[in-house]
């Protein structure tokens, strides 16, 4: 039986140790960082928008941990520039400065980041969707070959904004404080036009009249309701410190025969079902729930100053 020397045995052990160390290094080098435990939600503001009006999106990215995300970015597939952007962390490209690009820096475990972005929708077409993507490398959708390595995330439930050309619907996401007005050409088939001036930019602002507006229950109304119900949606149902005017232009033939500027009021049914009758005439400085009534030829313009959304209708 041949015996190996102590040196030979030590050499063999050293070789085995080197091989084992090589395996550990190789395995370690092949391992990649785990995908972040993150999630994204994209909420349309609102889900229905008139063609050519603003469409808004609230994008929230959350890190459930336990690891921190060292760098986080947000981009869109759409190459159009947003007209409105706010972010709770980091920086985003300025409106009009090209496609959306946000750099949030680190997103630590347990934290969330929210961006609100608004776009002008096209004058034609039935839907609109910027397609938002979060990533950890700063790459854009213009990297089709995936040369930039890193993790990416999209909301699997993101839905396109629906667009409409209906004359009975107007508005979307307020990119400015211009009036939002449904079809103003009155006739037997369009007895009412509705408009609202949003109290601020960066919020939902829509009006709808006709059958699509639905019906509201007027509690305690003692006069004759006339015209159509109009649905006014500002924000998400909250009250605003800045009053905003809601105006109905109603076809004269839709009013009771004995109605006049002195007898016409405006009914405002809040989202919680509370009925407010606007009968106090406005002075030089409008106050909450005051109203003005003005004849426009044979038709009537009724403007009420309110602080939250709901259903409105003329009464006289």
Residue 271 bridge partners (DSSP): none
Say if 14 falls within a structural domain.
no
Answer yes or no: do 138 and 221 share one domain.
no
For residues 244 and 283, what is the distance between their CA atoms, to the nearest angstrom?
Answer: 15
Answer yes or no: do 200 and 160 share one domain.
no
Say if 266 falls within a structural domain.
yes
Q: What is the pLDDT of residue 35?
A: 80
pLDDT in tens, 52-81: 999 999 999 999 999 999 999 999 999 999
Residue 256: both structure tokens together: 């009771």
Region of 99 (left: φ > 0; alpha: ψ -120 to 50; beta: rest) is beta
Q: What is the pLDDT of residue 59?
A: 98
Say if 152 falls within a structural domain.
yes
pLDDT in tens, 117-128: 999 999 999 999
Answer yes or no: do 135 and 215 share one domain.
no
Q: What is the pLDDT of residue 150?
A: 74
Answer yes or no: do 113 and 187 share one domain.
no
Query: Of the residues 164, 187, 216, which one is the last residue of a structural domain?
Result: 164
Say if 148 falls within a structural domain.
yes
Q: In the chain, which residue ranges form alpha helices assigned H by DSSP?
A: 6-30
> Taking Cα atoms as reference points, which of 287, 291, 292 lies closest to residue 307?
287
- In this structure, the strands spanning 132-135 and 101-107 are unpaired
Of the ranges 11-25, 26-40, 89-103, the best mean pLDDT one: 89-103
The C-alpha angle with vertex 121 and arms to 115 and 127, in degrees rounded to 5, equals 95
Answer yes or no: do 128 and 263 share one domain.
no
Q: What is the pLDDT of residue 139?
A: 81
- Count structural domains, the chain: 2
CATH number at residue 239: 2.60.220
Compute the average pLDDT of residues 293-313.
97
Confidence of residue 149 (pLDDT cuts 50, 70, 90): low
Residue 89 has pLDDT above 50, yes or no: yes
Query: Of the residues 133, 164, 195, which one is the last residue of a structural domain?
Result: 164
Say if 28 falls within a structural domain.
no
Answer yes or no: do 63 and 181 share one domain.
no
pLDDT in tens, 160-210: 999 999 999 999 999 999 999 999 999 999 999 999 999 999 999 999 999
Query: Of the residues 140, 164, 188, which one is the last residue of a structural domain?
Result: 164
Answer yes or no: do 297 and 186 share one domain.
yes
Answer yes or no: do 236 and 151 share one domain.
no
Answer yes or no: do 202 and 307 share one domain.
yes
> By residue range, what is the domain housing residue 287?
169-315
Say if 29 falls within a structural domain.
no
Residues comprising the chain, all counted: 316
SS3 213: helix
Burial label for 185, CB within 10 Å (0-12, 13-18, 19+), is exposed
Say if 15 falls within a structural domain.
no
CATH number at residue 71: 2.60.40.1530
Q: What is the pLDDT of residue 50?
A: 98
Say if 245 falls within a structural domain.
yes
Answer yes or no: do 173 and 82 share one domain.
no
Rg (CA), the chain: 30
SS3 99: coil
Answer yes or no: do 210 and 192 share one domain.
yes
DSSP code of residue 93:
P
With contact defined as beta carbons under 8 Å apart, do 315 and 276 qualify? no
């Amino acid at each position: 039986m041949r015996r190996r020397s102590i040196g030979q045995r030590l050499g063999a052990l050293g070789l085995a140790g080197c091989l084992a160390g090589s395996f550990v290094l190789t395995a370690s080098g092949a391992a990649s960082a785990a995908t972040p435990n993150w999630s994204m939600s994209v909420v349309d503001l609102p889900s229905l928008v008139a063609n050519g009006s603003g469409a808004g999106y609230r994008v929230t990215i959350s890190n459930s941990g336990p690891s921190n995300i060292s760098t986080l970015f947000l981009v869109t597939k759409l190459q159009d520039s947003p007209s409105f952007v706010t972010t709770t962390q980091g920086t985003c490209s300025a409106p009009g400065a090209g496609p959306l690009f946000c750099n949030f820096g680190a997103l630590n475990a347990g934290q969330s980041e929210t961006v609100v972005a608004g776009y002008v929708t096209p004058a034609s077409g039935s839907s609109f969707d910027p397609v938002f993507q979060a990533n950890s490398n700063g790459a854009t959708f213009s990297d089709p070959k995936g040369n930039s390595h890193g993790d990416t995330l999209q909301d699997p439930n993101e839905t396109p904004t629906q667009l409409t050309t209906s004359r009975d619907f107007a508005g979307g996401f307020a990119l400015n404080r211009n009036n939002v007005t449904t079809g103003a050409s009155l006739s037997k088939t369009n007895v009412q036009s509705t408009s609202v001036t949003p109290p601020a930019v960066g919020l939902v602002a829509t009006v709808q009249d006709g059958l699509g507006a639905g019906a509201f229950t007027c509690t305690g109304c003692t006069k004759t309701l006339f015209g159509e119900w109009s649905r006014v949606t500002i924000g998400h149902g909250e009250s605003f410190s800045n009053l905003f005017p809601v105006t109905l232009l109603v076809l004269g033939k839709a009013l009771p025969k004995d109605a006049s500027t002195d007898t016409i009021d405006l009914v405002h049914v809040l989202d919680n079902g509370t009925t407010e009758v606007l009968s106090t005439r406005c002075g030089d400085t409008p106050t909450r729930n005051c109203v003005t009534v003005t004849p426009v030829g044979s038709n009537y313009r009724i403007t009420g100053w309110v602080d939250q959304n709901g259903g409105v209708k003329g009464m006289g």
